[in-house]
């Protein structure tokens, strides 16, 4: 009887693990003992995803910093003769942050790597990553607002991520759209990295800074986010409350904003955003950010959201941004095409086969689609629908619901780009079983190529943008108070009576 139970249990373990074994370190032979001194390893985007990556990890002691890597096809159970890259080690709080930039990688190639101390020969387990092959076909996963405060809620959110990877095992990277943690303690970050190790050791991440990831809105707790990942931020980027950066992937230019830098966003960052988008000839222009200016939860009416929307919406229109992914509000929401803060009404649609699925595409639409793909975590909000029309026209909303109304499930989304086609899907997931259900889909087809603008580059340093920043601060706050007094509050009163 004991043998039967043992066999059944073993099968359960094997089958359970098989569904989310990425390039599992357990399956890769190695000729060394893994050191328990190394934790929180992640691999991130760098300037050029075809040839570069950033790597980051933490240790409790001041030790050497090295990454060794080999082409997966040539790995024979040892890192002897592997390329070694070295980087920086800096103290932060009670631990040390190691960062290395890998360069001169081969496009479209899978690598095995280990991080650690090449002086004392202490190394992490083996991770993998694959470089972008540079073609115009790629896929990625997006989750938002894990924001857990205890180990079990990180586990539940990681089950949502495992379901995402099961759904899209050939995803080339993933983004987590901010708020990884709740109180931004070392313990919470350690839990996040422990529960998401299966993803972070095998899939490149494009991290987005959230307001809970060490931000002044919660407490003065600077530089946490920048100490968790090795991101490709411009030199002049102020990193205290997050990081902004950009990368090209296939035919897309993807900008990751830091919506924590100030309210309103600094001129330094908005000028940088303009430079990034104007100088890119990519066909797709995509933004990842944390604070959503089209949201549907309790943050919809907050001053930071109002300011963000008024400041960035005209800018996104001017820069011809196609697709915006955000978080922060812990509900699900997708807009129709939006331009000038209004519904774009004259959109042409075509239904075509896409990977064997009949898919309806908006063809060369004006404006952008904004998505807020719920939360992978367990903290959810109700829909704040009674104030929609006080802040924005509810006609722009294509799909909106609280996860409380779909049986308290987590959500992840997937994006696939094939040349001029972009297909977005969102799935609700049972936190325990991983059982999933498609809850939303949207697709855009572009028949036009991208083109760079000849607009001049704008200054992005704090000294040159100082006067503009002061004016922007006064103007934006003044406009926000005006809108509250004469637009939003009167509409709220009218709605209430
Ligand atoms: Fe947030």
* DSSP-derived 3-state class of residue 406: helix
For residue 486, tell me if it sits in a domain: no
Sequence-distant (≥ 6) Cβ neighbours of residue 256 within 8 angstroms: 175, 206, 207, 208, 231, 243, 244, 245, 246, 287, 288, 289
Task: Give the domain CATH number at 441.
Answer: 3.60.21.10
Among 2-6, 446-450, 488-492, name the one with the lowest average pLDDT: 2-6
**pLDDT confidence band for 387 (50 / 70 / 90):** confident
Shared-domain flag, residues 273 and 369: yes
Boundary of a domain, candidates 130, 161, 196: 130
Boundary of a domain, candidates 445, 461, 476: 445
Provide the whole-model pTM. Answer: 0.93
Decide: residue 313, CB within 10 A, 0-12 exposed, 13-18 middle, 19+ buried: buried
Q: What is the mean pLDDT of residues 350-355?
A: 97
Q: Is the pLDDT of residue 9 over 60?
A: no
For residue 194, tell me if it sits in a domain: yes
Q: Residue 286 CB: number of other CB atoms within 10 A?
A: 23
Q: Is the pLDDT of residue 469 over 70?
A: yes
Q: What is the pLDDT of residue 218?
A: 55
- Count of domains forming the chain: 2
Give Cα 344 distance to the centre of its chain: 27
Boundary of a domain, candidates 83, 106, 130: 130
Q: What is the pLDDT of residue 263?
A: 81
Shared-domain flag, residues 329 and 251: yes
How does pLDDT run across 47-74, given as a tens digit for each residue?
899 999 999 999 999 999 999 999 999 9
217 CA to middle of ligand 1, Å?
A: 10
200 CA to middle of ligand 1, Å?
A: 21
207 CA to middle of ligand 1, Å?
A: 14
Shared-domain flag, residues 147 and 113: no
Among 95-109, 158-172, 384-398, 424-438, name the one with the lowest average pLDDT: 384-398
292 CA to middle of ligand 1, Å?
A: 9
For residue 115, tell me if it sits in a domain: yes
Shared-domain flag, residues 164 and 50: no
Task: Give residues whose Cβ lies within 5 Å of ion ligand 1.
Answer: 179, 210-211, 328
Shared-domain flag, residues 52 and 119: yes
For residue 7, tell me if it sits in a domain: no
Q: Is the pLDDT of residue 2 over 70?
A: no
Q: What is the pLDDT of residue 219?
A: 61
For residue 187, tell me if it sits in a domain: yes
Shared-domain flag, residues 96 and 202: no
How far is residue 206's CA from residue 284's CA, in Å, rounded to a whole number?
17
327 CA to middle of ligand 1, Å?
A: 7
363 CA to middle of ligand 1, Å?
A: 33
How far is residue 39's CA from residue 202's CA, in Å, rounded to a whole number?
15
How far is residue 299's CA from residue 280's CA, in Å, rounded to a whole number?
32
Q: Is the pLDDT of residue 6 over 80?
A: no
Q: What single string gives the DSSP state of each residue in 248-259?
A: EETTEEEEE--T
| CA-to-CA dists, residue 434 to 131, 289, 333, 413, 427, angstroms | 28, 26, 22, 14, 11
Shared-domain flag, residues 417 and 292: yes
Structural domain range at position 256? 137-445
For residue 79, tell me if it sits in a domain: yes
For residue 329, tell me if it sits in a domain: yes
Q: Which two tokens stand for residue 374?
A: 């719920």
Shared-domain flag, residues 214 and 66: no
Instruction: Tell the residue number behind the tokens 């793909």, with chain if given.
Output: 373
Shared-domain flag, residues 71 and 155: no
385 CA to middle of ligand 1, Å?
A: 19
Instruction: Tell the residue number behind the tokens 């709740």, with chain if given.
Output: 182
Q: Is the pLDDT of residue 151 over 50?
A: yes
Q: What is the mean pLDDT of residues 338-360?
A: 96
Shared-domain flag, residues 240 and 332: yes
Sequence-distant (≥ 6) Cβ neighbours of residue 252 within 8 angstroms: 138, 282, 283, 284, 285, 286, 417
Q: What is the pLDDT of residue 330?
A: 95
For residue 157, tell me if it sits in a domain: yes
Q: What is the mean pLDDT of residues 314-324?
A: 97
How does pLDDT run across 279-299, given as a tens digit for each residue?
999 999 999 999 998 998 999
More confident residue, 471 or 219: 471
Task: Give the domain CATH number at 92.
Answer: 2.60.40.380
List the one residue out of 63, 72, 73 whose CA is nearest residue 123: 63
% of the chain beyond a pLDDT of 90: 80
How far is residue 395's CA from residue 291's CA, in Å, rounded to a whole number?
21
Q: Is the pLDDT of residue 216 over 70?
A: no
């Amino acid at each position: 009887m004991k043998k039967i139970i043992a066999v059944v249990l073993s099968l359960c373990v094997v089958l359970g693990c098989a569904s989310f074994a990425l390039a599992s370190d357990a399956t890769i032979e190695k000729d060394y003992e893994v050191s328990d001194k190394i934790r929180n390893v992640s691999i991130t985007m760098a300037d050029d995803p075809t040839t570069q990556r950033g790597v980051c990890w933490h240790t409790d002691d001041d030790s050497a910093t090295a990454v060794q890597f080999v082409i997966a096809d040539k790995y024979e159970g040892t890192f002897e003769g592997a390329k070694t890259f070295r980087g920086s080690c800096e103290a932060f709080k009670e631990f040390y942050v190691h960062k290395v930039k890998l360069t001169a990688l081969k496009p479209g190639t899978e690598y095995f790597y280990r991080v650690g101390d090449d002086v004392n020969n202490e190394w992490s387990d083996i991770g993998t990553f694959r470089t972008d092959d540079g073609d115009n076909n790629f896929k990625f996963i997006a989750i938002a607002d894990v924001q857990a405060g205890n180990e079990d809620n990180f586990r539940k959110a990681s089950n949502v991520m495992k379901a995402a990877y099961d759904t899209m095992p050939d995803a080339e990277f993933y983004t987590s759209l901010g708020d990884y943690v709740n109180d931004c303690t070392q313990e919470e970050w350690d839990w996040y990295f422990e529960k998401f190790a299966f993803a972070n050791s095998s899939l490149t991440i494009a991290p987005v800074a959230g307001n809970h990831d060490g931000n002044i809105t919660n407490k003065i707790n600077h530089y946490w986010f920048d100490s968790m990942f090795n991101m490709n931020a411009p030199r002049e980027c102020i990193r205290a409350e997050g990081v902004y950066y950009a990368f090209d992937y296939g035919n897309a230019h993807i900008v990751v904003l830091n919506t924590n830098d100030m309210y309103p966003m600094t001129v330094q960052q908005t000028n940088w955003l303009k430079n990034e988008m104007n100088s890119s000839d990519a066909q797709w222009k995509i933004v990842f950010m944390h604070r959503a200016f089209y949201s549907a939860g309790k943050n919809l009416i907050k001053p930071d959201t109002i300011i963000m929307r008024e400041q960035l919406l005209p800018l996104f229109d001017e820069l011809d941004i196609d697709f915006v992914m955000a978080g922060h509000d812990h509900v699900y929401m997708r807009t129709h095409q939006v331009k000038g803060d209004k519904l774009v009404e004259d959109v042409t649609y075509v239904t075509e086969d896409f990977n064997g699925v009949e898919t309806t595409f908006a063809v060369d639409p004006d404006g952008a689609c904004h998505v807020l793909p719920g939360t992978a975590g367990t903290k959810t909000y109700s829909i704040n629908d009674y104030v929609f029309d006080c802040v924005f026209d509810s006609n722009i909303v294509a799909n909106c619901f609280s996860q409380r109304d779909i049986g308290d499930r987590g959500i992840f989304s997937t994006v696939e780009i094939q040349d001029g086609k972009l297909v977005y899907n969102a799935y609700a997931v049972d936190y325990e079983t991983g059982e999933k259900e498609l809850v939303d889909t949207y697709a855009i087809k572009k028949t036009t190529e991208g083109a760079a603008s000849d607009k001049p580059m704008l200054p992005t340093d704090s000294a040159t943008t100082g006067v503009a920043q002061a004016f922007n601060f006064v103007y934006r706050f003044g406009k926000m108070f005006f809108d509250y007094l004469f637009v939003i509050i009167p509409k709220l009163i009218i709605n209430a009576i």
